[in-house]
Chain A
Amino acid sequence: MKTKNIEKVTRPGTPHFVGDGFRVHNFIPGTSTMQRMDPFIMLDYNSKFNFPATDKPKGVGVHPHRGFETVTIAYKGRVQHDDSSGGGGIIGEGDVQWMTAASGVLHKEFHETEWSKTGGEFQMVQLWVNLPAKDKMSAPKYQAITNAEIVKVTLPDEAGEVEVIAGEFQGNKGAASTFSPIHMYNVKLKKGGKTQLSFPEQYTTSILMVEGEAKVNDTTTAPQDHFVMFKNDGETFTVEAVEDAVILVLSGEPINEPIASHGPFVMNSEAELMEAFQDFNTGKFGYLED
């Protein structure tokens, strides 16, 4: 199989705050356009950051989403979310929340109250995965995937393990169901551990160095908190941990449909965006107190 070569390695840019609870580096669409990264249309990475103790949890207030899925991967810290349907829950360390906003969700996300009281290190990824046009107006749903439910595949030679969040790794299926073909793993390598990963050539493929440093394809260094984007010129690449490492691996088949996006809505046309604003403004997403 041909090697998948690196397109570019991006260092984390100047962070900005989403609300007052998420201090993030934007990699998508910061690194490349939504069209290039299709089906991954947004990636905000809260690199390790120490939040002081507080009785007033920090976070982001009530906001809507339509037309895509949000995937929250908690590495450090805990997040509580509540929505206008009366749903809610807590995303703890190691957990993944896969929320299909689809036709519309109105929600808020804050550091969990008890966690906020002590504060501490917070590290999280929020990813937006686009939905095919036919699914954009389907009913919203949640997949609350606890760490215990995530399939873990042990790598040979004590190299480490692979948590399969979605898709498949060496025949092991991930916990999350998706609307288009997507593979998403946390590859946890011990120092010196090495593994090969393989995805179809046309899939949009990238990795985020959540912890530690790795060598990609034996030659390129990927330091901590850096984002590595691959070309569509082959299937396989290798990662080798220079020190203990956690690598978020994303690979998805492009949906290849028009993208019209404005703020929290990602649709296929301007008319659908206007409809989204109108529906939000007239209460069709429900109501939620700040």
Chain B
Amino acid sequence: MIEVPNFKKHIIEKCGLSETEFTQIAPFIKTKNVSKNDFLLQQGEICSHSFFVEQGVLRFYALNEEGKESILQFASENWIVSDRGSVFFQEPSTYYIDAIEDTLTVMLDEDFVNRVAKINPNFRKQNENLLQNHIRHLYKRISLLLGASARIRYLEFVAMYPDMLLRVPQWMIASYLGITPESLSRVRKALAAENFKR
């Protein structure tokens, strides 16, 4: 089996399984490698899994009628990304998931959740926690997009994704923040002017 130390840590620390229980679920862990620029999901497909990022970076985005990308989420190590609506309602997705770096994912689906829950019923509750946490995060994200300045959006972003500035192009970060690349540049320049002491 491919080693997935981050997923193991996630299952043990976040979901409360023991080492022994992890050994029991290990045979059911499915992984998928996705090369940089390749897709895990494209518009029109039914999304069959949630993807836990073991290593690498994925992005979840929409394309508007003019072909402009809007990035809803980045997922680096220990993040989960999915079109949950498509998975749950079994309807064609309107989104894309692709890899910004060569990425190793753990593929999660209902079958996996059921198998793990059989071994440790607490897993279902922990999954619910993750979902509720995700919804809370989305509320915050919507309110920032509707009301916050570019600077606050940026500072919230780097607090949540400390290494993303070094891993993805600036224009993608601008897309995620709902600002222009020029505006992102201005924010970073202003911060440097305030904080750079030499």
Which A positions have Cβ atoms within 8 angstroms of B? Answer: 63-64, 84-85, 262-264, 274, 277-287, 290
Q: Flag if B189 contacts A287 (CB, 8 Å).
A: yes
Q: How many residues of B contact A (CB 8 A)?
A: 18
- Give 22 pairs: A residue, B residue, CB < 8 Å, sorted on A: A63-B166, A64-B166, A84-B196, A274-B162, A277-B162, A277-B163, A278-B158, A280-B165, A281-B162, A281-B165, A283-B190, A283-B194, A283-B196, A284-B195, A284-B197, A285-B196, A286-B196, A286-B198, A287-B188, A287-B191, A287-B192, A287-B193
Can you add 14 more A-B contacts, CB < 8 Å, to A84-B192, A84-B196, A283-B194?
A64-B166, A262-B163, A263-B166, A277-B163, A281-B158, A281-B165, A282-B191, A283-B193, A283-B196, A284-B192, A284-B197, A287-B191, A287-B196, A290-B170
Q: Which of B191, B195, B197, B198 has the most CB of A within 10 A?
A: B198
Q: Is B26 an interface residue (CB 8 A)?
A: no
A107 CB, min distance to chain B CBs, angstroms: 13
Q: Which of B155, B163, B194, B197 has the most CB of A within 10 A?
A: B163
Chain A neighbourhood of B192, CB < 8 A: 84, 283-287
Q: How far is the CA of A280 from the CA of B155 in the complex (A)?
A: 12
Q: Flag if B155 contacts A282 (CB, 8 Å).
A: yes
Chain B neighbourhood of A64, CB < 8 A: 166
- Chain B 137-161 interface 0/1 with A at a Cβ cutoff of 8 Å (1 = within): 0000000000000000001001000
Interface set, chain B 166-198, CB cutoff 8 A to A: 166, 170, 188-198
B36 CB, min distance to chain A CBs, angstroms: 12
Which B positions have Cβ atoms within 8 angstroms of A? Answer: 155, 158, 162-163, 165-166, 170, 188-198
A159 CB, min distance to chain B CBs, angstroms: 46
| Chain B: CB-nearest residue to A139 | B198
| Chain B: CB-nearest residue to A63 | B166
Chain A neighbourhood of B170, CB < 8 A: 290
Chain A neighbourhood of B162, CB < 8 A: 274, 277-278, 281
Chain A neighbourhood of B189, CB < 8 A: 283, 287
Q: How far is the CA of A283 from the CA of B195 in the complex (A)?
A: 6
A126 CB, min distance to chain B CBs, angstroms: 17
Q: Flag if A264 contacts B166 (CB, 8 Å).
A: yes
Chain B neighbourhood of A85, CB < 8 A: 198
5 closest Cβ contacts across the A-B interface?
A283-B191, A283-B192, A287-B192, A281-B158, A277-B162
